[in-house]
Amino acid sequence: MARTRIYVPRETAAVSMGADEVALEVARLAKKNSIDVELIRNGSWGASWLEPLLEVEVDGTRIAYGNVEASDVEGLFRADLVNGGEHPRRLGPTTEIDYLISQDRWTFWRCGLVNPLSLDDFLAHNGFKALLQAFADGQESVLTAVADSGLRGRGGAGFPTGIKWRTVADAPGEQKYIACNADEGDSGTFSDRLLMEGDPLGLIESMTIAGFAVGASKGYIYLRSEYPLAHSVLTRAIDTARGAGWLGGNIQDSGFDFDIELHLGAGSYVCGEETAMLESLEGKKGIVRYKPPLPALEGLFGKPTIVNNVVSLASVPNIIKLGAERYAGMGVNRSKGTLAFQLAGNIKRGGMVEKAFGVTLRELIEEYGGGTASGRPVKAVQVGGPLGAYIPTQQLDVVMDYEAFMEIGAMIGHGGIVVFDDTANMAELARFAMEFCAIESCGKCTPCRIGSTRGAEVIDKLIAGEKRDENYDLLVDLCDTMEGASLCAMGGMTPYPVRSVLKYFAEDFASSAEG
């Protein structure tokens, strides 16, 4: 009998739900029953709610089984798993799972599909083709494609990537750097992690393209320490790429040199801010820098530096291969292309949904997410991490578009969508926003450092029902100061969630006092 391929993801969410134990059990039982199995630890397709998602390849088609536990494996084999047999866990062919096939997979198309640590598998799936095309077409062509695609920074700020790359390319200086921001600290976000764990070689290719386009010979990945599995995957992928001549000197005889150093963060949220990240990469405290100078002109070690989020970078290879027009053809208004939306918190079908901009928040939460996990009504949705506004249900029809979100005082940020049901106490969440800012503030500017502590105190008084009108005005005033006078988004945007609670959920302050 031919060898059977079985896929069990080696990705944090899957592993957190028991994928390693499932993989061990598959290996053990295959051996015991003399079934010839090739066990592949792929990345995740992103349907976290189905993890561990086991797949078996039958005549070239992958058949999926969802929420598999180690104790299910024996029964699966008995149900003729190797031929895709019937079983309560069976979902059918992976390519027919609605949640996945209705997405617009541009950046994440290899995630789940390939073995992340196999160079052969990567090459068999268009790996490094965009890089070779970039070498053939030249720097100018890459810079033009990225600009024409309309790609904007996916880390949260939404700055046009093409302008950033052009600035670095035009900046004088021999030494330039690519700094990949993989300090994905926003609650409700995990798309960077999915990509690094599922397609690390794709990120390496993307960074190399960026280096080639702007004339940088060295790249850094700044990875948060809360992602140990991503660290292990990236470390091996970088070694693999280097060993095969895809990193290092004279890459594939192109005459272009590029190498990547992987750095770990150390638990500081503010190091996701680009200048704090650069400080940390230089081995210092992650304290925010004044801007200007822009990192594009004076960045890492004072040299011109591209600071890009993982997903921004990883969107580039297909822009080169498939064309900027195709990317720009997706999306709405000035929000072009796709974003990896992440459904999190109290949601039935949590996971990553890569969709063109223009989808509504309601479609994501109801059609993809299936509503709350608890089955209770949605009360609020925080989009864009801890600095994002709490959106009330009457605004769920907002279109996913950077500018449309700004109009309602919210932000898309890195695309994290955290759903709360009607048991959530919004006053406590407003307090948490201030408390989190107090814990994570780098301390350089006063509005953020002191304002956050004072903010938590004032909210405590409001919750206690103390001098309500006076403290309300004080809190609004404090939000104005933090927003207007903080050095970076940490202090400058902490008022967003606070204000949204004051505006849409003020009754929670009253009920807290009564309760």
Partner 1 sequence: MATIDKQTTSEIVAEHNARPELLVQILQTIIGRFGWLPEETIRQLADELNLSRADVHGVVQYYHDFRTEEPGRHIIKICQAEACQAMGSNALTEYAKKTLAMSFHDTENDITLEPVYCLGNCACAPAVMVDGKTIGRVDEQRFNALLENLRGAD
Binding site for partner 1 (CB under 8 A): 12-13, 15-17, 48-49, 51, 184-190, 193, 224-229, 263-269, 280-287, 301, 342-347, 350-352, 373, 382, 386, 416, 418-421, 424, 429, 432, 436, 439-440
**Helix spans in 119-266 (H):** 119-124, 129-137, 139-149, 161-170, 191-198, 200-214, 228-243
Cβ within 8 Å of residue 425, ≥6 positions away: 508, 512
Question: Judged by CB, which is closer to partner 1: 324, or 438?
Answer: 438
Question: Judged by CB, which is closer to partner 1: 428, or 457?
Answer: 428
End-to-end CA, the chain: 67
Dmax over CA atoms of the chain, in Å, equals: 78
Question: Judged by CB, which is closer to partner 1: 134, or 287?
Answer: 287
Question: Judged by CB, which is closer to partner 1: 249, or 267?
Answer: 267
Residue 449 host element (H or E): helix 446-463
Question: Judged by CB, which is closer to partner 1: 246, or 390?
Answer: 390
Question: Judged by CB, which is closer to partner 1: 92, or 267?
Answer: 267
**Size (the chain), residues:** 515
Please state the closest distance from residue 84 (CB atom) to partner 1, in A: 26
Asked if 285 and 442 count as a contact pair (C-beta separation under 8 A), the reply is yes
The 3-state DSSP class for residue 151 equals coil
Please state the closest distance from residue 187 (CB atom) to partner 1, in A: 3
CA distances in angstroms from 493 to 270, 305, 433, 496, listed in the order given = 12, 25, 10, 5
Please state the φ and ψ torsions of residue 382, each to the nearest 5 degrees: -100, 120
Question: Judged by CB, which is closer to partner 1: 122, or 504?
Answer: 504
Q: How far apart are CA 223 and CA 197, in angstroms?
A: 12
Please state the closest distance from residue 126 (CB atom) to partner 1, in A: 27
Question: Judged by CB, which is closer to partner 1: 51, or 104?
Answer: 51
Question: Judged by CB, which is closer to partner 1: 314, or 429?
Answer: 429
Instruction: HSE, CB side, 13 Å, CA atoms: give it for residue 367.
Output: 15
The 3-state DSSP class for residue 422 equals coil
Question: Judged by CB, which is closer to partner 1: 49, or 327?
Answer: 49
Q: How far apart are CA 393 and CA 376, in angstroms?
A: 13
Please state the closest distance from residue 133 (CB atom) to partner 1, in A: 32
Please state the closest distance from residue 78 (CB atom) to partner 1, in A: 27
The 3-state DSSP class for residue 87 equals coil
Q: How far apart are CA 113 and CA 123, in angstroms?
A: 13
Cβ within 8 Å of residue 251, ≥6 positions away: 131, 208, 245, 257, 258
Q: Give residue for tokens 């994928």.
A: 19
Please state the closest distance from residue 79 (CB atom) to partner 1, in A: 25
Residue 354 host element (H or E): strand 351-356
- Token representation of residue 410: 């919210």
Asked if 512 and 427 count as a contact pair (C-beta separation under 8 A), the reply is yes
Please state the closest distance from residue 299 (CB atom) to partner 1, in A: 14
Question: Judged by CB, which is closer to partner 1: 127, or 497?
Answer: 497
Please state the closest distance from residue 264 (CB atom) to partner 1, in A: 5
Please state the closest distance from residue 345 (CB atom) to partner 1, in A: 3
Please state the closest distance from residue 373 (CB atom) to partner 1, in A: 7
Question: Judged by CB, which is closer to partner 1: 166, or 499?
Answer: 499
Q: How far apart are CA 109 and CA 331, in angstroms?
A: 18
Q: Would you say the C-alpha torsion 464, 467, 471, 472 has a positive or negative sign?
A: positive
Q: Which residues pair with 384 in a beta bridge?
A: none
Please state the closest distance from residue 109 (CB atom) to partner 1, in A: 20
Q: How far apart are CA 301 and CA 177, in angstroms?
A: 9
Please state the closest distance from residue 117 (CB atom) to partner 1, in A: 19
